[in-house]
Structure 1
């Protein structure tokens, strides 16, 4: 029997495969990034500059929070467990190619009645055996098991790439949450300062009203500004608490106060990055890599479906010893062996044809999903580049507007105090200044968040 097993193993190693030749689908996007007024100020380098995350996010406090998130975040932990599960399934499928060798020991005592006995007498029969061999091992002549193994491998690689995508999304989410906290903290400080200024103005106008210098309508107008600042103060206090909750959820543990930023002016912005000249950089995105591995998995599934049309050959072998007495189990002349090959040839089985058609449809679905993932990635990068190409100009414009409104507010106060103009001019100038300062802070947040998003949609660094 040993002489038979070796040739069978050689045949297995040289068995054919019916997996269709894989060809990567054409990339359904332009080779270059969009062009137009929104992209004119962009400086694209010949080579994409994708840094490691701790080189891209240079703020030390943010780096500490990201490290906590990478260690504790439950979504990332679930993604890692999915990778381990896929790896285990791949190990199971790969093991199907190798025969399972088992040892079996059995004993039997049986009473045979007179009517069934060959001797015409009731008797008790005993049989004991110990065997060592292979139980129903499928010999993969036509590559069915090999195809299933390749499918499991590609599914494992897809899960691994998905883990990288989740990890990258987590880093970006933590960065955006950190910058959002800094912005709301800046706006909260602005609201506190504005409230203090408005309360001082209100008290001054109240005194002027009491001596008959200011009108009652000016007093109420000053009061509206105080209440507006109070509302903003409560709103940003609430937003700040929610921002902290988001950061702690992402990091997976409570955060100490010293890890949280005091405002936009106290953080280090992320480094600038370039997507390069060619959109082919998107093929390195983890989600696109995962989609391609999924496509390869369904391509391998077609090979398994094709192999189902051919004979399935299995082998059962055993060698051992048997005796009617337990003491004679290993005595001379007790040796036994079996060799039982079996071939099953499908003649008509509608399930085989249906499975083959389903496998082809699943591959087409995977192709479509792969192409859609690439198109979505291109749009995400294009949108981020459009923001990147225009955000600095918006910030410059708002900086200029804030400076002008500060001068307007200053002059309006002087004119009101000298009786040249009404308090309505002061009110309008102050309201516009407060709103524009908040808008400027939020625009800076948009810039930092967009850089974090661009880092993610380009695929990040290792």
Structure 2
């Protein structure tokens, strides 16, 4: 859901980029799986409806009698020859009413289909959330790599300067060793930052392109990496939904009600069943019988005794519904806590962001003074390097805190079933940028 610095990319993401990401999300395996499950539920519902429809069967039967035998009746002997019979025809069956069996099964299947519709929507949102999470991690790794590149560069300059001064006898060896230690630490941190960057890049790429072995992000992602508008701060939307109204809750609730209808259908198996059937048969004539027959049968049947089968099956389904209801209650509590926590986190992150901004002015002034002292020989290069690194660290904190704010925006929107497609988020950010520029 986010390409790069959660912040960056959301700010400058173009509509063509958004369209690319939206298309990729819809092609993810988990989204396709949810779509297939939705289609399966649809056809399962249609199959249940079809049981009330007209069924037509054709048949052909052939029978062969015993071989010829001779039967003696006193002085008379009778020969019984081989014989065969056949008939064929067509049969119509129409289930009229099941007194609650199919009727409740249909209601149960309808709710299952509805829950699959919701699940598909939730799977798409989950995929966007995963994308934004990977983009958030990727952006932080970019910021950290940029920071470590700068610290490595300045520590290398510090090392070279210390070595020259030590070689000419101006600086003691301890200063050179200290500079070497600082450089080695920076080198180690830079290597770790680069490896983290590689990992987050691979994670993001493999999520968007699961069928590819290439781990290089496409240009529509990379070109937005270093564009950050630090003047635009995302704000949480005013929209809010109760946990019971969210898609996650509705999926569980639909499944619970579906099980209750399924229980009714099981109990209704003891009820009568009303069916209508007709049969037209062509057959070999025998004696006075005709060569065809036509029958219409209206049947009413019901179960008398089943050794407790229906009762136990109904109880099993009821226990499943009760277990799922406990999941529903826990989900409501978790969603409520998550909604409350993300709002609190946003306010904390916003205060941290403001604090880093205020600290930035102090760090800039501190660096300016230390640099001035160093240029006039009143401060060591190590003090100069420390002040410079403190300034770089503050800038890194600002970038990361802004990333945190955008991540809070995505989480809040996700937890309130708001639209979090890249196109929608881009529109929100671009409207805010244009509004603040005016």
- With the length of structure 2 as denominator, give the TM-score of the two structures: 0.79
- Once the two structures are superposed, residues 262-298 of structure 1 have per-residue CA deviations (whole angstroms, 9 ceiling, x without a partner) of 535347989644243x643x44432222112112211
Matching of residue 167 in structure 1 with residue 124 in structure 2? yes
- Alignment counterpart, residue 232 of structure 1, candidates 168, 189, 194: 189
Per the TM alignment, residue 58 of structure 1 is displaced from its structure 2 partner at its CA by 6.7
Change (3 A) 1:258 1:221: farther
1:173-322 aligned at under 5 Å gives the runs 173-252=130-209, 255-263=217-225, 265-266=227-228, 272-276=235-239, 279-280=241-242, 282-314=243-275, 316-322=277-283
Matching of residue 362 in structure 1 with residue 320 in structure 2? yes
The aligned residue for residue 399 of structure 2 is: 441
- Alignment counterpart, residue 57 of structure 2, candidates 96, 102, 109: 102
2:304 match: secondary structure: coil
2:31 match: secondary structure: helix
Per the TM alignment, residue 237 of structure 1 is displaced from its structure 2 partner at its CA by 2.1
1:265 match: secondary structure: coil
Q: Is the 8 A contact 1:176 1:448 kept in 2?
A: no
1:329-348 aligned at under 5 Å gives the runs 333-337=291-295, 339=297, 341=299, 343-348=301-306
Distance across 1 between alignment mates of 2:71 and 2:57: 34
Q: Is the 8 A contact 1:399 1:440 kept in 2?
A: yes
Per the TM alignment, residue 112 of structure 1 is displaced from its structure 2 partner at its CA by 4.8
Matching of residue 151 in structure 1 with residue 114 in structure 2? no
Root-mean-square deviation over aligned CA pairs: 3.3
- Once the two structures are superposed, residues 320-347 of structure 1 have per-residue CA deviations (whole angstroms, 9 ceiling, x without a partner) of 222259xxxxx97523436372513233
Distance across 2 between alignment mates of 1:417 and 1:169: 55
Change (3 A) 1:387 1:259: same
The aligned residue for residue 308 of structure 2 is: 350
Distance across 1 between alignment mates of 2:17 and 2:207: 12
- Alignment counterpart, residue 32 of structure 2, candidates 68, 77, 94: 77
Distance across 1 between alignment mates of 2:357 and 2:409: 20
Matching of residue 92 in structure 1 with residue 47 in structure 2? yes
Distance across 1 between alignment mates of 2:11 and 2:157: 41
- Once the two structures are superposed, residues 17-65 of structure 1 have per-residue CA deviations (whole angstroms, 9 ceiling, x without a partner) of xxxxxxxxxxxxxxxxxxxxxxxxxxxxxxxxxxxxxxx8872265144
**Structure 2 segments unaligned to the other structure (5+ residues):** 1-9, 422-438
**Structure 1 segments unaligned to the other structure (5+ residues):** 1-55, 326-330
Per the TM alignment, residue 181 of structure 1 is displaced from its structure 2 partner at its CA by 2.5
The aligned residue for residue 114 of structure 1 is: 69
Number of residue pairs aligned between Structure 1 and Structure 2: 399
The aligned residue for residue 284 of structure 2 is: 323
Per the TM alignment, residue 243 of structure 1 is displaced from its structure 2 partner at its CA by 2.2
The aligned residue for residue 128 of structure 1 is: 86
1:346 match: secondary structure: coil
Q: Is the 8 A contact 1:57 1:270 kept in 2?
A: no
Per the TM alignment, residue 229 of structure 1 is displaced from its structure 2 partner at its CA by 2.7
Distance across 2 between alignment mates of 1:114 and 1:339: 39
Matching of residue 454 in structure 1 with residue 412 in structure 2? yes
Distance across 1 between alignment mates of 2:182 and 2:280: 96
- Once the two structures are superposed, residues 322-373 of structure 1 have per-residue CA deviations (whole angstroms, 9 ceiling, x without a partner) of 2259xxxxx9752343637251323352221111222222222232222222
Greater mean deviation of Cα atoms: 204-213 or 246-255: 246-255
- Once the two structures are superposed, residues 228-256 of structure 1 have per-residue CA deviations (whole angstroms, 9 ceiling, x without a partner) of 33223322322222222222222225642
Distance across 2 between alignment mates of 1:126 and 1:338: 27
Q: Is the 8 A contact 1:158 1:289 kept in 2?
A: yes
Distance across 2 between alignment mates of 1:117 and 1:342: 49
- Once the two structures are superposed, residues 375-402 of structure 1 have per-residue CA deviations (whole angstroms, 9 ceiling, x without a partner) of 2222222121112222222111112224
Change (3 A) 1:422 1:197: closer
Distance across 2 between alignment mates of 1:231 and 1:261: 28
Per the TM alignment, residue 162 of structure 1 is displaced from its structure 2 partner at its CA by 0.7
Per the TM alignment, residue 83 of structure 1 is displaced from its structure 2 partner at its CA by 0.8
Matching of residue 140 in structure 1 with residue 97 in structure 2? yes
Distance across 2 between alignment mates of 1:318 and 1:117: 41
Q: Is the 8 A contact 1:302 1:359 kept in 2?
A: yes
Greater mean deviation of Cα atoms: 186-195 or 431-440: 431-440
The aligned residue for residue 400 of structure 1 is: 358
Q: Is the 8 A contact 1:194 1:229 kept in 2?
A: yes
